[in-house]
Amino acid sequence: MSLSPDAVLAGLKEIVEEVAGIPAASIELGKNFTDDLDVDSLSMVEVVVAAEERFGVKIPDDKVTELATVGDAVNFIVNAAK
């Protein structure tokens, strides 16, 4: 199943808002999860697990630390879903 980057970004916005209470409007591709959005390491795990369920992909623990920005996560998910 292929996913469009726009669809993944829209889904991620909802997830981050739900998990971390960050308004969806402030979530952009260039934003860093930790520095810009204040998503800490444990909340990041919750985001990742919710994203796995929503998009039907696997995001291994050793990849989570590589997902610094929202854009990194979108790219990873889009590629993993191909």
The residues annotated as belonging to the active site are 40
Half-sphere exposure of 28 (CA within 13 A, CB side): 5
44 binds another protein (CB under 8 A): yes
Comparing CB distances to another protein, the nearer of 27 and 67 is 67
Q: Which residues pair with 69 in a beta bridge?
A: 32
Closest CA to 45 of 67, 77, 74: 67
Among 7, 20, 24, 64, binds another protein (CB under 8 A): 64
Where along the sequence are the contacts to another protein (CB under 8 A)? Answer: 40-42, 44-46, 48-49, 61, 64-65
